[in-house]
Amino acid sequence: MRKLILFFMLGAALTCGAKPKQKTAVVRLETTAGIIRVELSDETPRHRDNFLKIVREGVLDSTLFHRVIKDFMIQGGDPDSRVRRAADGSLLLPPRNRELGEGGLDYTLAPEFNLPWLFHERGALAAAREGDDVNPEMRSSSTQFYIVYGRSFGENSLGKVRAALEENGIEMNYEMWQAYLTKGGAPHLDGTYTVFGHVIDGMKVVKAIQATPTDSLDRPLEDVILLRAIVE
């Protein structure tokens, strides 16, 4: 009996001394179209910590979802798209003839690809970046991000995407295959853009934004503003 008591006392002591599991970071995006909540992945610490930093510093507040493509994604986070308020209280929006999407802070992030765990299924949160021709290291923008809506796939069409990925050494496993078949997404981006989180609430808002009419520069005709981002 004495040994049994000692065993339970030791177990209690070890439990009390165990490192508590950290709460996964969640960011609330308050937009003119509604609220989107995203959970950041601990498997991409550079991107997670950077996103938390720019959210806390207000870098994303009052910026536009400046690039929206139906059945693909919604993109925001360009500081050059910031909406300002005039003295009379009216909103001063970036001019329509100005192409957005080049703004950011004075650094980029090394990629953190984490396949097959983090991939471009519907609802994925990922980092935008410059193209391969000027960015062969596939480094991520310091501020710009996108949320995947994507499209639905049948087995034949998804099989063609999988074959193209395999030619570049990227494998689509069973879980990815099933997610793309049942939920949809943008699998052609896997292994080239860093996914660092996912939507946990507000996909109806994402769906509404991606379906909004846009101009020739993919900017919504009725601007969608990220009013503020908050770490919950």
Closest to 202 measured CA to CA, from 43, 70, 74: 74
- List the 26-31 sheet strands across, edge first: 63-64, 225-231, 26-31, 34-40, 195-201, 124-127, 145-148, 73-76, 67-69
Q: Is the pLDDT of residue 218 over 70?
A: yes
d(Cα 181, Cα 185) in Å, to the nearest integer?
9
Q: Is the pLDDT of residue 4 over 80?
A: no
Per DSSP, the residues of 130-148 read --TTT-TT-PEESS-EEEE
How far is Cα of residue 34 from the mean position of the Cα atoms in its chain?
Answer: 17
Confidence of residue 10 (pLDDT cuts 50, 70, 90): very low
3-state secondary structure of 5: helix
140-162 residue pLDDT tens:
999 999 999 999 999 999 999 99
84-132 residue pLDDT tens:
988 998 889 999 988 899 999 999 999 999 999 999 999 999 999 999 9
Confidence of residue 7 (pLDDT cuts 50, 70, 90): very low
Cis peptide before 95 (omega within 30 of 0): no
How far is Cα of residue 104 from the mean position of the Cα atoms in its chain?
Answer: 16
Contact present, 231 and 32 (Cβ < 8 Å): no
Confidence of residue 14 (pLDDT cuts 50, 70, 90): very low
Bridge partners (DSSP) listed for residue 28: 37, 230
d(Cα 184, Cα 123) in Å, to the nearest integer?
9
28-47 residue pLDDT tens:
999 999 999 999 999 999 99
d(Cα 195, Cα 100) in Å, to the nearest integer?
22
d(Cα 157, Cα 162) in Å, to the nearest integer?
9
d(Cα 146, Cα 158) in Å, to the nearest integer?
22
Q: Using the 8-state DSSP alphabet, how is residue 188 labeled? A: G
